Structure 1
Amino acid sequence: MDPLSEVLSLLTAQGSVFAGLKAGGSWAIDFPPPDGIKFNAIVEGACWLTVDGVEKPIRLESGDCFLLSRKRTFSLCSDLSLPAIHSDEIYCHAVNGIARCGTADAFFLIGGRFAFGEEANLLFDGLPPVAVIKSGSDQASVLSWALHRLAHELATPSPGGSVVVQHLGHIMLVQVLRLYLEQEGNNMPSWLLAVSDLRIGTAIQAIHADPARSWTVEDLAQVAGVSRSTFALHFKQKAGITPLEYVSRWRMQLASRSLKANHATISSIAQKLGYDSDSAFSHAFKRIMKCSPREYREKSASVIRP
């Protein structure tokens, strides 16, 4: 399994919501920061999108899609000079998740929101606050189709619906990530940039295949087929962290999943990930996750229990 597929396999949608917006005339709406990542597709009409922290407004046309990957306020409007109403004012009257604003006859947007756990940080840390996919691209057509299917699954619950919704979220996310990796000029260090590099990606795949191994930089450089110094420098430039720090962080991703998903003892999880003692594992876990394994398990259980 390639690293991107493996990280996606760790993701579990903790919540999914569909929403639509019909608008017309002169209109402007402010939205709160989304809880999770938000996919949107313009089905009809056009609008302006502004996102907190993004310098320039973005013009969106019919067929365009966009993804919001950060918890930032954003606005949609027909005219940038108009005063905006808060989204609560219209969504409290939504029917089947679709709100109406103004004449509601010129603009139609559909959107889906997925809330994932902290395992998703590897992916989202590499994305810009807003990613736009223009109409006519394969990615835009897939996103639009998936959003329509999401609306259908949530509006008409059927057996297996939760699995379908989760897979739709993964499909949409993969399309956006592929587009991001294809674009030029994405040079900010990130996991996505590292895994898309042929040599660094090969080393990351080796780490994922055997996370318990006592990896050294020399080992990983040999896997990548370059010298130790070249590999260490190139890895840091692409990923933003050292190779051995990545080994530790990936282990903690796997450990956090095990702590949430099953009742295995902390000792067995530590041994499975290559730690010689519980104290060494706990120290590494606390350094990266900011709490002990036991505290993490208790906190995760309290979230699931309600």
Structure 2
Amino acid sequence: MDPLSHLLSLYPVRTALDVRCRFGAPWVLDHEGAPHGVAPYHLIVRGEAQTDGQTLQTGDIIVFPHGHAHRLHIGDPAQASPTHSAPGLLRFEGNDGDGPQTDILCGEFRFDADGGGGLLAALPDVLVVRTAGRPDAQSLRHLLRMLHEEAETPRGGSEAIIRQLASALFALLIRTWLEQALTVPGLFGVLAERRLQAAINGMLTAPEKPWTLEDLADASHMSRATFARLFKQAANATPADVLTQLRMARAARLLDAGQPAGAVGEAVGYQSEAAFNRAFKRQYGVGPGAYRRRAPE
């Protein structure tokens, strides 16, 4: 498994796509703040939208990973015509504006609990990906077009098709973002730094191994000092901190599968169950036993 796929498998993300918008200018779409772990997103499938001083065009995707309240609009929001809703495969939101039209698909990425760190912490407040005219975004552009077609003209199986297509959206979005962004933070910063690929891949594939700084530096063909400096610059965290994050994320997935805490601790490199319990509780706020017994979300 490649490093990005492995990382995404440790941090499950569920995708909901539930609103189809068609607005004629002038229009405004206000979105209230979302709870922690819920990231609203908007797919601009036709036309333009503006938000916080930047213009979004056909094929652009904007995500608010930390759920911040936001506004999308075209024209003077004070002059926007009222919106109206209608039920359907996706709830429809529209208005009676007679200016240029904008079509938007809206939904949410829902992150499972990750102890306040990991994947969600590595995402910026606002994430924008452009797909128009970009060869590196061809797969994502095709996905947007298929989602739009199924939502616009539902046929037999459209609900299942939209659900399956939407499930691939987050992975394609993150891959394209990594390819387009000049700098990326946290865990993604390590993935984006090619010189650290061997080290992060080792942590992901063998979290039970007693990795030392020297081991990771050797895998990356660097001195310990150079490796430690480059890793801290990329991740804004030490290799030991990232290794612990990945171990705890792997432990959470094994606990989700019903494995006992003692076996899980050994599987992620802890010889002492007590030490594993302490590390897990620091990350997730509860011990592994309580985490495994929690009600399914």
Normalised by the size of structure 1, how large is the TM-score?
A: 0.81
- Measured in 2, the distance between the counterparts of 1:141 and 1:80 equals 33
Q: Is residue 98 from structure 1 mapped to residue 98 from structure 2 by the alignment?
A: no
Q: Is residue 217 from structure 1 mapped to residue 213 from structure 2 by the alignment?
A: yes
* Structure-1 residue corresponding to 2:134: 137
AA of the residue aligned to 2:285:
K
- Measured in 2, the distance between the counterparts of 1:64 and 1:3 equals 26
AA of the residue aligned to 1:73:
A
Structure 1, residues 154-189: CA drift from partner, whole Å, max 9, x if none? Answer: 966749938x7356433x334433333334641x64
Q: How far off its partner does 1:235 sit?
A: 1.1
Distance change (3 Å), C-alpha of 1:296 and 1:219: same
Q: Is the 8 A contact 1:22 1:104 kept in 2?
A: no
1:243-262 aligned at under 5 Å gives the runs 243-260=239-256, 262=257
Say what the alpha-carbon RMSD is for the aligned residues: 3.2
* Structure-2 residue corresponding to 1:49: 51
* Structure-2 residue corresponding to 1:287: 282
1:42-121 aligned at under 5 Å gives the runs 42-50=44-52, 57-80=53-76, 82=78, 90-91=84-85, 93-96=86-89, 97-103=91-97, 106-118=101-113
Distance change (3 Å), C-alpha of 1:90 and 1:257: farther
> Any idea what SS the aligned residue of 1:303 has?
coil
Q: How far off its partner does 1:10 sit?
A: 3.5
Q: How far off its partner does 1:46 sit?
A: 2.2
177, 180, 196: which is aligned to 2:174?
177
- Measured in 2, the distance between the counterparts of 1:238 and 1:206 equals 17
AA of the residue aligned to 2:216:
L
1:16-27 aligned at under 5 Å gives the runs 16-27=16-27
* Structure-1 residue corresponding to 2:224: 228
AA of the residue aligned to 1:213:
K
Number of aligned residues: 289
Q: How far off its partner does 1:28 sit?
A: 1.7
Distance change (3 Å), C-alpha of 1:117 and 1:59: same
- Measured in 2, the distance between the counterparts of 1:112 and 1:121 equals 23
Structure 1, residues 138-158: CA drift from partner, whole Å, max 9, x if none? Answer: 455543432454463896674
Normalised by the size of structure 2, how large is the TM-score?
A: 0.83
Q: How far off its partner does 1:220 sit?
A: 0.9
Q: Is the 8 A contact 1:66 1:132 kept in 2?
A: yes
Q: How far off its partner does 1:116 sit?
A: 2.8
Deviates more, 1:125-134 or 1:223-232: 125-134
- Measured in 2, the distance between the counterparts of 1:185 and 1:148 equals 26
- Measured in 2, the distance between the counterparts of 1:34 and 1:144 equals 27
Identical-pair percentage: 26
Structure 2 unpaired stretches of 5+: none
